[in-house]
Amino acid sequence: MLGKSRTPFDAVTLEASLDLARRAPDLTPRAKLAFVVRMVQQARKHRVQLDSRVLMQCLILAKPCRKVNVVVATSRVMLQQQKQALQKLRDHLNESAPAGANMHNASVELLAGRDVLDAVVFDALLRFFLRHQQTAVAAELWSELWIPGLAASNTAQLDASILESGAWVCAKTGNATEAARVAELYQKLGIKPDARVLHLLVSACVRAAQFGIAREYMQWICSLGYTLHECELRQYVRAGLSANKADEPLDELLLTLADEVLTDRDVVLCSDERNRVRFLRFFFNTLHTCVSDGRLPVHIKRPLFAPRDAFQCAQYLFARWKTTDSGISSCMVYLASRAGCLSMAMRVALASHEQAPPLHGNASKIPHGMLHAFAYEALVEQCLKQDRMGLALDLIFDQEDENLLNARRTAHMMTPYLKTLGRLGRLDLCHKLFRTYEQWCDILVRPAGVYMKLLSKAGYHAKALTLFRKLHAIYGSSDLKATRRLFRVLSSVVLQASSRTRYGGSQLSVDVIEDMVRVMKKYVRQLDRSPTEACENPGEVSPKKCRSRLRDLNREQRAAMQRKRSKGMIQKNLARIDARLKWRDWKDRLATGKM
Q: Return d(Cα 202, Cα 419) in angstroms, integer.
A: 44
**Nearest alpha carbon to residue 362 among 534, 481, 531:** 481
Max avg pLDDT among 44-58, 75-89, 166-180, 525-539: 166-180
pTM: 0.75
| Length, in residues, of the chain | 595
Q: Is the pLDDT of residue 434 over 80?
A: yes
Residue 77, phi then psi, degrees to nearest 5:
-60, -50
Closest alpha carbon to 554 in 535, 529, 528: 535
CB 331 within 8 A of CB 287: yes
Please, which pLDDT band fits residue 53 given cuts at 50, 70 and 90?
low
H or E stretch covering 462: helix 461-475
pLDDT at 59: 64
Calculate helix-pair angle for 373-385, 326-338, nearest 10 degrees.
30
Q: Which residues pair with 268 in a beta bridge?
A: 227
Lowest-confidence pick of 337-351, 379-393, 464-478: 464-478
The pLDDT assigned to 496 comes to 84
Residues in a beta bridge with 568? none
Average pLDDT over residues 26-42: 74
> Higher pLDDT residue, 18 or 127?
127
Gap between the Cα atoms of 427 and 501, Å rounded: 23
**DSSP letter string, 393-452:** HHHHH--S--SHHHHHHHHHHHHHHHHHHHHTT-HHHHHHHHHHHHHHS---HHHHHHHH
> Which range among 274-278, 306-310, 455-459, 499-503 has the greatest average pLDDT?
274-278
The helix (run of H) or strand (run of E) holding residue 214 is: helix 211-223
- Residue 106 pLDDT more than 80? no
Query: Is pLDDT of 437 > 80?
Result: yes
Q: What is the pLDDT of residue 552?
A: 58
CA dist., res. 214 & res. 176, Å (int): 9
Compute CA 264 distance to the chain's CA centroid, rounded to the nearest angstrom: 23
pLDDT tens profile 220-275: 999 999 999 999 999 999 998 887 665 677 878 888 898 888 888 888 999 899 99
Ramachandran class of 593: left when φ > 0, alpha when ψ lies in -120 to 50, beta otherwise: left
Q: Reply yes or no on whether the pLDDT at 204 is more than 80.
A: yes
Asked if 487 and 517 touch (Cβ cutoff 8 Å), the reply is: no
The 10 Å Cβ neighbour count of residue 180 is 18
Residue 100 pLDDT > 60: no
| Contact (CB, 8 A) for 535 and 552 | yes
HSE-CB of 309 using CA atoms within 13 angstroms: 16
Whether residue 484 is predicted with pLDDT greater than 80 in this model: the reply is yes
Cα→Cα distances 455→384, 447, 462, 466, 485, Å = 21, 12, 9, 11, 17
pLDDT tens figures, 64-89: 666 566 556 655 655 565 555 555 54
Mean pLDDT of 2-31: 68
pLDDT at 71 (0 to 100): 59
| Per-residue pLDDT at 171 | 92
pLDDT value of residue 115: 44
d(CA 435, CA 424): 19
Which position has the higher pLDDT, 110 or 76?
76
Bridge-based pairing state of the strands 227-228 and 268-269: parallel
Which 3-state string (H, E, C) describes 368-389? CCCCCHHHHHHHHHHHHHCCCH
Instruction: Give 529-538's long-range contacts (Cβ < 8 A, gap of 24+).
Output: 530/480, 530/560, 530/563, 532/556, 532/560
The pLDDT value given to residue 135 = 82
For all residues of the chain together, what is the average pLDDT?
76
Q: What is the CA radius of gyration of the chain?
A: 37
